Copies of this chain bind each other. A is one copy, B any other.
Amino acid sequence: MAQPRFPQDVIARKRDGATLTADEIEFFVRGVVDGTVADYQAAALLMAIVLRGLSPAETAALTHAMQHSGEVIDLSDLPGPKVDKHSTGGVGDKVSLLLAPWVAACGVIVPMMSGRGLGHTGGTLDKLEAIPGFRTDLTVPEFRTQLARVGVAMIGQTAQLVPADRKLYALRDVTATVESIPLICASIMSKKLAEGIDALVLDVKFGRGAFMKTRSAARELATAMVACGQAAGRPTRALLTPMDEPLGHAVGNAVEVREAIEGLRGRGPADLMAVTQALASEMLLLAGVAHDAADAQSRLDTALADGTALQRFRQIVAAQGGDPRVVDSHHTVLPAAPTTLEVPAPPDAHGYVAAVDALAVAQVAMALGAGRASISAPIDHAAGLTGLVKVGQPIAPGQPLARLHGSDADLLAAVALRLTAAVRYADTAPRPVPHVAERL
């Protein structure tokens, strides 16, 4: 098909349910970036896509056009497999902090670009920045140099990468066109593919505290992203993991760094360790570093036991300007909140913890100052929760549900009630939920 003449011709075809050609999609995305497609035309196409959908081929073409809308990092000169992980976001999700050094310690290059927290989900960048001095704004040359030297770098999206996504995402946010599987897929995958990876592992979360509320919605998004990665010639795996209760015992920024370091010492909470290890294992397999799951498991166990995973984390912190003493003296290096408050289980607590509402806990953390409601809001890196109870543990009135960390005793007292309301009880222990629900 010939190059389209006008943006409205492309909009009209999608409006009428047609399948767009790669040329049409490329024409549109290029126009969004160079300004020949007006914002209102982009908005009309976005709404048509939300309501008419995109085929897997169209989604792949959109991803490709977005990926190539700016700089695409080429890491082919670095010897060794480059694999990254992406999570759709959860509460207490410090997986990346453990995973990146752990997998790198096993010989996989991990060029990780992450986002900031917004709304109820935390962001890896915010957590890392709780470490004094830690820089997440490396330039692309600095990023490459560190990958060559340390084998892993953890930074934010640079302005040169995927400008189409920045523009489209800003529009989607104010035109009610965020909720679309193909648009979410293209947004995530275009950024990951622009990093120069050879393969990708996805953690697609579902439940109360996730962007996808149901397992079937998560499966739909995961299927689209896996197809999109494969279409781009980048082997892609996805794990569906539950996010009804927060991951681990800590929710916040400094408190999550602490929990991640404990994890790198092999002392992390069971759910956090299980999810991280499952994702890490997939990365080792995709990288060709492990020949099967048992081999991957054994390599991961070794890297944890011999301290190389923890050492790699120390190297990341030092290379990115942070204080590497954080690993051994995190109580003195990380910011600590001036006030803490232990929240006891209420008089009606009995039997077992049946549910800890991840969304409600996230709202507690936000209220304490650990999250941001708008993109430019400041964050209190010391604020958050620790020692949060886990589903399935026995409980009785007066036993601690969690410890709140914040700047103001009155605020802590007020927020304590909301935490209490987030926990449910049952006479019998609930059936344990697998930490990985599905593998795609």
Rounded to whole angstroms, the CA-CA distance of A265 and B357 in the bound complex is 83
- Whether A50 touches B15, Cβ cut-off 8 Å, given contacts A39-B40, A40-B40, A42-B40, is yes
Interface flags for A23-57 (1: CB within 8 Å of B; 0: not) read: 00000000000000011111111111011100000
The answer on a CB contact under 8 Å between A44 and B8 is no
The answer on a CB contact under 8 Å between B15 and A174 is no
CB distance from A310 to the nearest CB of B (A): 45
Rounded to whole angstroms, the CA-CA distance of A199 and B121 in the bound complex is 57
Chain A, 1-39, CB within 8 A of any chain B CB: 7-9, 11-12, 15, 38-39
Residue of B nearest to A43 (CB): B40
Q: Which of B7, B12, B40, B51 contacts A15 (CB 8 A)?
A: B51
Rounded to whole angstroms, the CA-CA distance of A42 and B44 in the bound complex is 9
- Contact of A318 with B by CB under 8 A: no
Complex interface: chain B residues within 8 A of A11 (CB): 47, 175-176
Which A residues are closer than 8 A to B by beta carbons?
A: 7-9, 11-12, 15, 38-48, 50-52, 171, 173-177
Residue of B nearest to A52 (CB): B51
Q: Which of B7, B9, B15, B176 contacts A44 (CB 8 A)?
A: B176
Rounded to whole angstroms, the CA-CA distance of A77 and B171 in the bound complex is 48
- Give the number of times this chain occurs in the complex, counting copies: 2
Complex interface: chain B residues within 8 A of A46 (CB): 44
Residue of B nearest to A15 (CB): B176
CB distance from A283 to the nearest CB of B (A): 37
- Whether A40 touches B8, Cβ cut-off 8 Å, given contacts A15-B51, A51-B52, is no
The answer on a CB contact under 8 Å between A175 and B51 is no
Residue of B nearest to A46 (CB): B44
Complex interface: chain B residues within 8 A of A38 (CB): 39, 174
User: What are 6 inter-chain pairs, A to B, with CB distance below 8 A?
Assistant: A7-B174, A15-B177, A39-B39, A40-B40, A44-B44, A48-B176
- Whether A8 touches B51, Cβ cut-off 8 Å, given contacts A40-B40, A42-B40, A46-B44, is no
CB distance from A38 to the nearest CB of B (A): 7
Residue of B nearest to A173 (CB): B8
Rounded to whole angstroms, the CA-CA distance of A8 and B46 in the bound complex is 13
Complex interface: chain B residues within 8 A of A15 (CB): 47, 50-51, 176-177
Complex interface: chain B residues within 8 A of A45 (CB): 47
The answer on a CB contact under 8 Å between B40 and A171 is yes
Complex interface: chain B residues within 8 A of A177 (CB): 15, 44
CB distance from A213 to the nearest CB of B (A): 15
Complex interface: chain B residues within 8 A of A175 (CB): 8, 11, 40-41, 43-44
Residue of B nearest to A13 (CB): B176
The answer on a CB contact under 8 Å between B8 and A176 is yes
Residue of B nearest to A47 (CB): B47
